[in-house]
Amino acid sequence: MSGKLRCAIAGCGGIAQVHARALKNMPEAELLAFADIIPQRAEAMAEKFGGRGYGSLEELLDHEQIDVLHICTPHYLHTPMAKTAAELGINIFTEKPPVIDRGQWAELCGLGDKARVGVCFQNRYNGSTRALGGLLASGEPGKILGARGFVTWRRDAPYYTESGWRGSLKTEGGGALINQAVHTLDLMAYFLGAGRVLGASLANRHLKGVIEVEDTLEAALDFGDARGLFYATTAYSVDAPIIFELTCENVTLRLEGERFTRFWKDGRVEQEDFTVSASTVPGKAYWGSSHQRCIEDFYRCVRDKEPFMNDLPGVSDTVELMLSIYEAARGC
Ligand SMILES: NC(=O)c1ccc[n+]([C@@H]2O[C@H](COP(=O)([O-])OP(=O)(O)OC[C@H]3O[C@@H](n4cnc5c(N)ncnc54)[C@H](O)[C@@H]3O)[C@@H](O)[C@H]2O)c1
């Protein structure tokens, strides 16, 4: 494929703004159109970023010739929208999570070669993640013996009641895990594989009667040589930096937000801060800083016909682990 890739965005809420700004920074992308069931949102984005606004994805696809569709809608719509676009041979870049259950995962994987699907697990592109991955690849840390993930954030009732889709199992698919903590779980699966769920539990600790999804979840995981512990809650008092830690034979590697600390067995402590200034990154700091890099890489891979790191095989360990944790926690 040569020249610019023509693209459009479905779903014009919070995260769509981040995609649009990233695309406007890319000479290789031509942002043509927006769709939202609240047409004023699509029109407002068209006015802000240039292009045309539509009241549905179907209407957009009837009128526009595009190469890439960005899916920024509620969780339950990612798979059906991906299927609609894939039937037309359009490449798909979808927000996380790609699916909310095993049925959708089978459908998505069943798309085969109809289109490329890329998933926005952008934290793989964070400077801190890259540095950690590079050090692991050097062999210096030795074998991974343990992994811990902690996501302790705060979401109050209006976050759910004002959205129309969050807080409901049918439309969000789950709570703290599938929505907020899935990025940290993704890091665990990215470095350790899908593993095995030894046990998991979930609870609604502070929003009973408001949401039917979990605000707290814990899981014990087995990655062969390494044990994993995962804890996610949206019932904390603030959005604390996530903690992701790998204990290795020679060193403990800790990401705290985008600060990367190495605690070597010989007592040395090294630290690098990859935090990107909030003024240079669109979106909220806790989303991570790497939408731009992730989207650019997807476009490069589409153009050069190269495999994309976050294609369906590339994220399957994360999806498997997420679905298995829910199954263990829900007892199904
Ligand atoms: N990668 C990240 O760091 C990150 C951060 C925030 C959100 N997200 C993900 O992005 C997605 C959207 O989240 P958000 O916070 O922007 O939500 P939002 O509620 O702000 O926006 C969703 C938009 O989709 C629209 N919509 C709903 N049904 C539609 C339909 N059938 N057709 C077209 N538009 C429709 C809504 O009207 C709304 O404008 C979610 O999957 C979320 O998990 C990812």
Considering only CA atoms, which residue is closest to atom 31 of ligand 1?
A: 37
Domains of the chain: total: 2
Ligand 1 atom 36, closest CA: 11
Show the tokens assigned to 269.
């402590």
Give the sheet arrangement for strand 29-35, strand by strand: 52-54, 29-35, 5-10, 68-71, 91-95, 117-120
Nearest CA to ligand 1 atom 38: 13
pLDDT tens profile 207-257? 999 999 999 999 999 999 999 999 999 999 999 999 999 999 999 999 999
67, 99, 120 - which closes a domain = 120
pLDDT at site 119: 98
Residue 276, pLDDT score: 82
188 and 40 belong to one structural domain? no
Tokens of 202: 């979930």
Q: Whose CA is nearest to atom 18 of ligand 1?
A: 13
| Residue ending a domain, choose from 74, 95, 120 | 120
CA 12 to ligand 1 center in whole angstroms: 7
Residue 229 sits in the same domain as residue 326: yes
pTM of this structure: 0.96
294 occurs within a structural domain = no
Ligand 1 pocket: which of 9, 12, 15 to mutate (most atoms within 8 A of CB): 15
Ligand 1 centroid to Cα of residue 226, in Å, is: 35
Closest CA to ligand 1's atom 15: 14
Domain that holds residue 200: 133-286+319-330
pLDDT in tens, 35-47: 999 999 999 999 9
Which pLDDT value is given to residue 281? 60
Ligand 1: lining residues by beta carbon, under 6 Å = 10-16, 35-38, 41, 56-57, 72-75, 77, 95-96, 120, 122, 163, 179, 287
Residues 74 and 161 in one domain: no
CA 146 to centroid of ligand 1, rounded, Å: 34
Question: Is the Cβ–Cβ distance between 55 and 76 less than 8 Å?
Answer: no
In this prediction, the residues of the chain whose per-residue pLDDT falls under 70 are 1-2, 278-289
Residue 96 Cα, ligand 1 centroid: separation in angstroms? 10
Please say which residue of 120, 152, 185 terminates a domain.
120
Atom of ligand 1 nearest to the CA of 77: 31
Residue nearest to atom 29 of ligand 1 (CA): 37
- Contact between 290 and 122 under an 8 Å Cβ cutoff? The reply is yes
CATH number at 157 reads 3.30.360.10
In testing the pocket of ligand 1, which one of 21, 60, 73 has its CB within 8 Å of the most ligand atoms? 73
Residue to mutate (ligand 1; options 9, 17, 37; most atoms within 8 A of CB): 37
